[in-house]
Structure 1
Amino acid sequence: MTPPALRFPRPLRPGDRIGVTSPSAGASGAAATRIAFSVDWLRDRGFDVVVGECMDGTGLTSAPAPQRAAELTRMLADPDIACVVPPWGGETAIDLVDLLDWDVLAEAEPTWLVGFSDISTLLVPVTTRLGWATLHGDNLADTPYAVPDGLLHWLELASGPGPFEQHDSRLVADWVRFEQEPHATEWPRVGAGGWDVEGGGAVDVSGRLVGGCIETISHLAGTPYGDVRGWAERLDEPTIVYVEACEDHAVDICRYLHSLRLAGWFDRAAAVLVGRTSAPDHPQLTQRGAVLDALGRLDLPIVWDLEIGHVPPHLPLVNGALARVEVDGDLRRITQTLG
C-alpha cells in the first residue's frame, strides 16, 4: 500500500524523548565536547535525551552503514521517541538510504527528523517515501545558538501546527570553532545580507516545501529515494523547492541542479528558494549563474539568499509544510502551516 503523501509528527513538548544518533559523521575531541554541551542544553529545557551507539567521530562515518541504518530505524520507529536529531551532517549518508527498514517505518507513527547538510539525504526520502514531514534546520551542534530577530528556533516549528512566520534576519554570521569555544551560544556577525528576487519585482506564492543541500540531494534524483515529482503528483498541490550549496564550485552546482530539473523536481514548483552560500565561483560561472543556467529556463520566481544553508544563521523549513513566500519591497516573509 502506498503511504499517504503527507503526515505530520505530533507536536514536540518538554518532557518528550529526543534521540541522538549520527547517520553520517560522528563526533570526537572538541566536537564531542560541543555535542555533550548541546545534549545538556536540551535536557535543561526539559527534554529526555537518549544518545545512541553510533557517535564515533574518528572515521568518515560514525559506524558501518548497516549499524547506522539499524539505529536510525529503531529510533524513528520507537513510539517513545518524538524526535531524532544528529550531531551534524557529514559526507556519505547516502550509503544507508537503502538499508533503512522502510516497511517498519511505514507502519510507525511519524517522528520528527531534524537536520541539514548531509542529513538532507535522509530528510528527502523520509518525506517523499513515507509522507512524513521532516525539519530542515539546525543540527544538534547548532541547536544552542540564540535565534536572531526574524527567525524561529526549530524546536518552535516542531511544537505545533503554526502558522509560523519568519522574516529576513539581515544577519550574515560565521561559525565558531569548537576548539576555541565549545559552549558558544551567539552567532558572530560578519556582515549583513537580504533576500532578493531574480529580476526584481515582487513574489507572493504558496506551496508545499521540499529541498535541501544541493550536493547531497542531487544524487537521489532519479532513484526511489528522491522521487519528488511522484510525491508532488500524489499531493496534487504546488510545491516550493529550496536548495542551498555547501562548498562545491559553480560548475558542479550547475550540473547537480540540471540533474534535479531533469528528474522533475520542479515540475509542480511555484517558486525556487536559494540559500545564501560561500561556495566558490568558477572563473567563468558564478553560483547565481549556475542556478540560472539550470533553472532560469523554467520561468519560475527565484528568491535568493535565504538563511537556509551553510552560512549561518538558520531559518528552519519543514518539508511538507504549506508555505507562503512574500517578497515585496521591505516585506520579506515566509509563513509555514503544518497541516
Structure 2
Amino acid sequence: MIGQEIRYPAPLRPGDRIGVTSPSAGASGAARERIDFCIEQLRADGYDVVVGELMDAVGITSGPAQARADELTEMLCDPTIACVVPPWGGETAIDLVDLLDWEALAAAEPTWLVGYSDLSTVLLPITTRLGWATLHGDNLADTPYVVPDGLLGWREVAAGTGPHVQRDSGLFATWVRFEEDPRATAWREVGRGSWGLHGAASLDVTGRLIGGCVETLANLAGTPYGDVAAFGRTHAEERLIVYLEAGGDDAPTICRNLHGLRLAGWFEHARAILIGRTNAPDSAQLTQRDAVLDALGRLDLPIVFDLEIGHVPPHLPLVNGALARVVVDGQRREITQHLT
C-alpha cells in the first residue's frame, strides 16, 4: 500500500461525531472519572461522542487484541465518525497492527486518528501504509487542558487545511493527578525553556512530517508497519522532517532504539530531525541529549531539541504527512503545517 499520496480527513466541525475507544490501555477508577469528564466536555462543545465497548482497564490492555483491532477498524471505517481519539496510550498497541483490516481501511475515506505515546504504534503505519494523515497530539485525557500561547489544540489543527502556525511556548508543565482533580483544565507549570538547535547556526527547512514515540516506533522498524525509508522514497522530492520523543526509557535504551531507526533508513530522506522534551532518565555515562547525538549526530542533519511534542506537556500537535516548515533563527522558533 506504500506509495499513495497523502489524503486528509475532512475538517472537524462542532456537531461531528467523535469515536472513543481504547486500542491500548483502558481506564478505571479516578482515570475513568477523568475520561468521563473529557467526554462530557466534548459534548458540551457540540460534538456527538460515541463510546466503544472496549474501555475498561481489565489488564494491560482494554481487551483482546483482535477485539481492539476490530473496534478501531469499525470506527475508522464508519462514514458517520469524523474523528477517533483514544483516552491515552499504554504499553502494547503493537499487538493489533497486523490485526487491523487494512483492506477495509484502504477502501474507506480517511478519518482523523488522534493521540500519542503508544498510539504512535498505530498512527505511523496508517500514514505510511494508507497515505492517511494522522494527528500526533493530545490524547482524550489531555483535551480539556487550556492551550498555552503559541500552540494550537488538536481540534484547531483538525479543523482546516491551515496554514497552522505554532511557536515555542516556553512552558514546561505536568498533569494534575486524576485522584487529585479528575476535572482539571490548567497545566501545572514546572519550568521554562525553549527549543535548541544543534548542527546549524539557523534553520529554515520544509518537508513531510513523520514520527512519534521512540520506544514504540523502534519495534516497528524493519517491519511492513514501520517502513519510513519507503515513505521517504515516495516523498523524496519534498523530503521528510522526522520527529521523535522519548517517553520514559533510560538514555542507553533510547540510544539503541535511535541507532535502530537510523540503520532502518528512517533518516535517508530527512532534511531535519525534531526531538521532544523528555523526563526520561539519563544514565551515569549518558544523557538523553547525548543519546540522540550518539545515534543521529553522524547524519549531518540539523536537530531541533526540546519541542513540545511528547511526554512533557503542553503538546504541540503535529500531523503525520503534513507539509511543514520549521524555522529556528534568533528569537524566531516556529513550525507551520499545511494540510494539503
Report the Cα offset of residue 170 of structure 1. Answer: 0.3
Amino acid at match of 1:244: E
Amino acid at match of 1:134: T
Report the Cα offset of residue 58 of structure 1. Answer: 3.1
Is contact 1:174–1:190 with CA below 8 Å preserved after alignment?
yes
Distance (whole Å) between structure 2 residues aligned to residue 199 and residue 91 of structure 1: 33
Report the Cα offset of residue 202 of structure 1. Answer: 0.8
Is contact 2:200–2:302 with CA below 8 Å preserved after alignment?
no
> Residue 224 of structure 2 corresponds to which residue in structure 1?
224
> Residue 293 of structure 1 corresponds to which residue in structure 2?
294
Is contact 1:210–1:242 with CA below 8 Å preserved after alignment?
yes
Q: Is residue 305 of structure 2 the alignment partner of residue 311 of structure 1?
A: no
> Residue 272 of structure 1 corresponds to which residue in structure 2?
273
Report the Cα offset of residue 5 of structure 1. Answer: 3.0
Q: How big is each residue's C-alpha offset from its partner over 1:77-99, in whole Å with a ceiling of 9 and x where there is no partner? A: 01110100000000000000000
Change (3 A) 1:319 1:2: closer
Is contact 1:6–1:235 with CA below 8 Å preserved after alignment?
no
Distance (whole Å) between structure 1 residues aligned to residue 128 and residue 106 of structure 2: 12
Report the Cα offset of residue 317 of structure 1. Answer: 0.3
Structure 2 gap ranges (5+): none
Secondary structure of 2:306's aligned partner: strand
Report the Cα offset of residue 233 of structure 1. Answer: 1.1
Distance (whole Å) between structure 2 residues aligned to residue 58 and residue 140 of structure 1: 19
Q: TM-score, normalised by structure 1?
A: 0.99
Secondary structure of 2:218's aligned partner: helix
Report the Cα offset of residue 3 of structure 1. Answer: 6.1
Is contact 1:5–1:128 with CA below 8 Å preserved after alignment?
no
Is contact 2:114–2:139 with CA below 8 Å preserved after alignment?
yes
Distance (whole Å) between structure 2 residues aligned to residue 101 and residue 51 of structure 1: 20
Secondary structure of 1:300's aligned partner: coil
Report the Cα offset of residue 234 of structure 1. Answer: 1.5
> Residue 129 of structure 1 corresponds to which residue in structure 2?
129
Secondary structure of 1:146's aligned partner: coil
> Residue 28 of structure 1 corresponds to which residue in structure 2?
28
Which deviates more, 226-235 or 26-35?
226-235
> Residue 330 of structure 1 corresponds to which residue in structure 2?
331
Residues matched between the structures, number: 339
Q: How big is each residue's C-alpha offset from its partner over 1:162-193, in whole Å with a ceiling of 9 and x where there is no partner? A: 00000000000011100000000000111101
> Residue 212 of structure 1 corresponds to which residue in structure 2?
212
Is contact 1:30–1:178 with CA below 8 Å preserved after alignment?
yes
Is contact 1:3–1:106 with CA below 8 Å preserved after alignment?
no
> Residue 170 of structure 1 corresponds to which residue in structure 2?
170
Is contact 2:2–2:131 with CA below 8 Å preserved after alignment?
no
